[in-house]
Copies of this chain bind each other. A is one copy, B any other.
Amino acid sequence: MPRRIAIQRSVMAADEKIAEKIRKDLSKRGVLMLNLIGSPGSGKTSLLEWTLKDTLFRSVVLEGDVATSRDAERIARTGTPVVQINTRGGCHLEANLVEKALEGLEMDGVDVVFVENVGNLVCPAEFDLGEDHKVALCSVPEGPDKPLKYPHLFMRAEAVLLTKVDLLELLGFDRDLFWKDVKELNPRAERLEVSALRGDGMSDWVSLVQSWVRAKRP
């Protein structure tokens, strides 16, 4: 089906131009953008709820979902400005959707744009939204074999977070196998273990975001 591939490439190229524009505009303002990617239920929204407690940086959030505004409602409760993007069946966010969502937000004084992508370990990894870094989340209940089975995200992520580590022992999760595979796919990625239930690793994660924020400031 070469024709289909050609058409898809041209559409992706148009979207990549929008992504570059977003990255340039945000960089001029010294704003960091992070693209959070993981399976449904991997803990993306819970990670954000923790992160937004930090007051050393000011955040806005874009919530990507196939349907409903449940995640945006959770974020709104933290007091952080949030825009819900519904893809209406679409399996990933694209830069044109992010561009429209950013237009609705007051960006003065903002340090970080957190984008929570659609829950999906496959498709979102392929689409540049104009972010500085992709952050991959994989939860303990998903099992330690996921990096090799879904390699593209793990190869492209600046940081890999193993989430729900409060379940490590109960589920007999093979943490050595998980991190060995991550290192093989992407030796330079930051590697963190977190639990939104107990708070494990959250200060390390927030420190990492702070270091990225500082690096973006003019």
Contacts and interface: CB of A to CB of B under 8 A. Distances in A.
Contact of A120 (B65, B122, B146): B122
Contacts of A4: 7-8, 11
Given A3-B7, A120-B120, A122-B118, A148 B40 contact: no
A148 B70 CA distance: 9
Contact of A1 (B3, B11, B141, B146): B11
Nearest to A89: B152
B149 A70 contact: yes
Interface string A1-37: 1011001100100000000000000000000000000
A184 interface: no
B67 A151 contact: yes
A139 B7 CA distance: 37
Contacts of A68: 145, 148-149
A101 interface: no
Between A4, A71, A123, A141, the greatest number of chain B beta carbons within 10 A of the residue's beta carbon is seen for: A141
Contacts of A90: 122
A38 B150 CA distance: 14
Interface in A168-183: 170
B150 A66 contact: yes
Nearest to A146: B40
Given A122-B66, A122-B91, A41 B151 contact: no
B39 A149 contact: no
A164 interface: yes
Given A40-B142, A41-B143, 8 more contacts: A4-B8, A39-B39, A40-B150, A41-B142, A70-B149, A89-B126, A120-B121, A139-B141
8 contacts: A66-B149, A91-B91, A91-B123, A119-B121, A119-B150, A120-B121, A122-B123, A141-B142
